[in-house]
Amino acid sequence: MLPQSLRGRRAALVGYGRAHRALALRLAAEGAQVFAFDQSEEAAARAREDGREGSFGAGYLEALRALRPEFAFLTPGMRKDLPALAALGADGTVLTSETAYFFARRRRPVLGITGSAGKTTTTTLVGRMLARQGIAAAVCGNIGRPLSEALGDEQQIELYVAEFSSFQLLQASPEIAGLLNIRPNHLDIHPSFEDYAESKWRIARFQGEEGVLVLHAALLASAPPLRGRVECFDAGAPADACVAAGDIVLHGRRVLPVAELRLAGRHNVENALAAALLASAAGAEESAIAEELRSFQGVAHRLELVAVQGGVRYVNDSIATAPDRALAAFDALEGPFVWLAGGYDKHLDYHELARSAKDVRFACLFGPVGKTLLPLLDAQGIAAQLFDGFDAAVEAAARAAQPGDTVLLSPAAASYDAFRNFEERGERFRQLVLARTSA
């Protein structure tokens, strides 16, 4: 637990990205002594710009322990089982997070959303549905805007709509929680799939009887004991939000035809159902929900049509950082595909993805996961080539594409081998494509 004030306390931020920069401002405003620690030189430059003391580079964890801070706020994606952190905790430092700080300081209800896929689309939809209803909400968290920054909106809002990753869910739960799905992901950080799944269920673990949990009906069979009200969505079976006779149905009432959705793919129908339930639980009426579902065109880097030239469609699905996301792209779009895939290895299984790539005419692969996919695709008789770098793969895909093809960036892997995040990878794809198609 965090005290009501950290005035005069030594607080270390382990990792100094956007979220921790925002947190540093909040902590400093409370009167805490704030120090920054990170292994990257880019973070060191940010700290110098902000006037933060600390340590950077290879020995930053040793310097952290030497400081003996009273509180250490760990960046979400950091392994929590590092010996240096265990030693720090043994020395008496409280290991905590921005999420814990947020829940300790917020004074408005939280609608929180997690899952292996679909979090950002669903969170964005809920925020927009509530806005249409006239409900003021701060959309924040893993979606891009730091939780601690959103605390500054408290006087102007009625609730928070927050996206949470598995790394952010610790010892608190939102009043309204959404669990979209649980599929293998981030096994480079979590020691097992079971640990990863347990981290996702934490979004409801600390709810009281007044809480609401929205989840996919398929997850009920594996659910731990739940205390609040449970509402389910399922595109393929009767549920609180479902599809019946071609219509999206919410609590037994028709909302709109599925055909009126502007989002492609069954997975986005599921996202729409989840968003409708969550927004309804927060006070949105069916008319506001339907209006938003009719108009919403999606979020950047998620099946985003970048250009069409010479009968070739170029689609940016850089958000696909795991195999199931690429599978969803194959299901949502029409082939044949010239497929761009590869990137940082999160220790996931790619056999099913390779078996399902039947509409891929040619695969342009890159990075460590590209090396993994090459023999798997070869075993399926799918033409594939490994390229030295992302740009070379995109150039080769454009050369190989024929009228009627879709050049699909759906990497099935994280971007950290070559980019800071999937957004930067998607932007680079967009740049390369538009440079070609506008020439």
- pLDDT exceeds cutoff 90 at 78: no
Q: Does residue 278 share a domain with residue 320?
A: no
Q: How many C-beta atoms surround the C-beta of residue 380 within 10 A?
A: 15
Q: Cα–Cα distance between 242 and 251 in angstroms, integer?
A: 9
Query: Would 2 be classed as within a structural domain?
Result: no
Provide mean pLDDT across the span 132-150.
Answer: 94
Q: Cα–Cα distance between 280 and 274 in angstroms, integer?
A: 10
Q: What is the pLDDT of residue 187?
A: 59
Closest CA to 201 of 218, 221, 226, 176: 226
Q: What is the pLDDT of residue 13?
A: 96
* Total domain count, the chain: 3
The CATH number for 244's domain is: 3.40.1190.10
Closest CA to 108 of 168, 174, 171: 174
Residue 214 CB-density burial (10 A; 0-12 exposed, 13-18 middle, 19+ buried): buried
Is 185 part of the annotated catalytic residue set?
Answer: no
Q: What is the pLDDT of residue 169?
A: 61
Closest CA to 373 of 340, 334, 395: 340
Q: Does residue 389 share a domain with residue 369?
A: yes
Q: Which domain holds residue 46?
A: 10-96
Catalytic entry in 20, 181, 186, 190: 186
Q: Does residue 73 share a domain with residue 172?
A: no
Q: What is the pLDDT of residue 185?
A: 56
- Residues comprising the chain, all counted: 439
Last residue of a domain, which of 63, 96, 129?
96
For residue 339, report the phi and psi dihedrals to the nearest 5 degrees: -105, 130
Distances, alpha carbon 225 to alpha carbons 207, 345, 369, in Å: 11, 34, 37
The CATH number for 18's domain is: 3.40.50.720
Q: Does residue 138 share a domain with residue 105?
A: yes
For residue 163, report the phi and psi dihedrals to the nearest 5 degrees: -90, 130
Q: Does residue 82 share a domain with residue 16?
A: yes
Query: Would 43 be classed as within a structural domain?
Result: yes
Last residue of a domain, which of 295, 325, 356?
295
Distances, alpha carbon 371 to alpha carbons 325, 366, 400, in Å: 19, 7, 20
Q: Give 93's Cβ-side CA count (13 Å radius).
A: 25
Closest CA to 16 of 42, 393, 424, 223: 42
Q: Does residue 421 share a domain with residue 345?
A: yes
Strand, coil or helix: 252: coil
Is 271 part of the annotated catalytic residue set?
Answer: no
Closest CA to 103 of 165, 19, 35, 160: 160
- pLDDT exceeds cutoff 90 at 328: no
The CATH number for 425's domain is: 3.90.190.20
Q: What is the mean pLDDT of the chain?
A: 92
Q: Does residue 52 share a domain with residue 72?
A: yes
Is 186 part of the annotated catalytic residue set?
Answer: yes
Q: Cα–Cα distance between 89 and 76 in angstroms, integer?
A: 17
Query: Would 5 be classed as within a structural domain?
Result: no
Distances, alpha carbon 282 to alpha carbons 158, 212, 213, 266, 296, in Å: 10, 10, 12, 25, 19
Q: Does residue 110 share a domain with residue 216?
A: yes
- pLDDT exceeds cutoff 90 at 439: no
Q: Does residue 390 share a domain with residue 422?
A: yes
Strand, coil or helix: 328: helix
Provide mean pLDDT across the span 347-375.
Answer: 96
- pLDDT exceeds cutoff 90 at 266: no
Return the structure tokens found at 65: 């322990």
Contact 411, 315 (CB under 8 A): no
Q: Does residue 199 share a domain with residue 143?
A: yes
Return the structure tokens found at 438: 């506008």
Catalytic entry in 119, 200, 267, 301: 119
Q: Cα–Cα distance between 423 and 407 in angstroms, integer?
A: 18
pLDDT in tens, 179-230: 999 876 555 665 677 877 887 888 998 999 999 999 999 999 989 899 999 9
Last residue of a domain, which of 77, 96, 115?
96
pLDDT in tens, 82-98: 888 899 999 999 999 99
Query: Would 387 be classed as within a structural domain?
Result: yes
Q: Does residue 247 share a domain with residue 130?
A: yes
Query: Would 3 be classed as within a structural domain?
Result: no
Q: Cα–Cα distance between 96 and 212 in angstroms, integer?
A: 26
Query: Would 389 be classed as within a structural domain?
Result: yes
Query: Would 335 be classed as within a structural domain?
Result: yes
Query: Would 282 be classed as within a structural domain?
Result: yes
Q: Does residue 219 share a domain with residue 189?
A: yes
